[in-house]
Amino acid sequence: MDVKVKNDPTKRTFQQFIFPFTLEGKMIEKFVERLLKDNFVF
């Protein structure tokens, strides 16, 4: 199927990328502390 559309500009685009992971139960609150220390805000 022909989809060769060139010069087809978008006006504005943003994307978000999500990925999941598993955390070690005992380390979760330490991870929270680490994030806050690294300028992540709640």
Partner 1 sequence: MNLKDMEQQNQFYGGHKVSHRKLEKYFMPYIEPILFPGNAKQKEGLRRFTKKLDIDCTFESPYLNTPFIINSIDIFICPFHIGMMNLRVTLPEGLSHNDVLYFGDTFRILEPIADDEEKTKVGCRENQYEHVKDFIFNELLPPIEEYMDEEQADPTYFGSLPFFIDERMYVISYTAFPENRDISKNDLFRISELNGYDNDGEPYIGALNPDYIEKYYQERVYDRWGKETYYVTSMYHFACVTKATGKLEQELASEMYGQHFYTLLLFFYYKIVLLKLAHEHSQIDVEKDQSDTEQLIFMITEFSAKYLFTEVNSMAIGKELFKKTDEAFRIAPLYREVKETLSYLYQNQDKLAGKRSNYLLQILTIYTVVSGIFGMNLYIEDWKGNYHGKRIWITPYTNG
Cα distances from 8 to residues 3, 4, 11, 41, in angstroms, run 11, 10, 10, 39
The least CB distance from residue 42 to partner 1, in Å, is 4
Encoded one letter per residue, x for contact with partner 1 by CB under 8 A and - for no contact, window 1-40 reads x-xxxxxxxxxxxxxxxxxxxxxxx-xx-xxx-xxxxxxx
Q: Which amino acid is at 7?
A: N
- Per the CB < 8 A criterion, the answer to whether 31 and 23 are in contact is yes
The least CB distance from residue 33 to partner 1, in Å, is 10
Contact residues: partner 1, CB under 8 A: 1, 3-25, 27-28, 30-32, 34-42
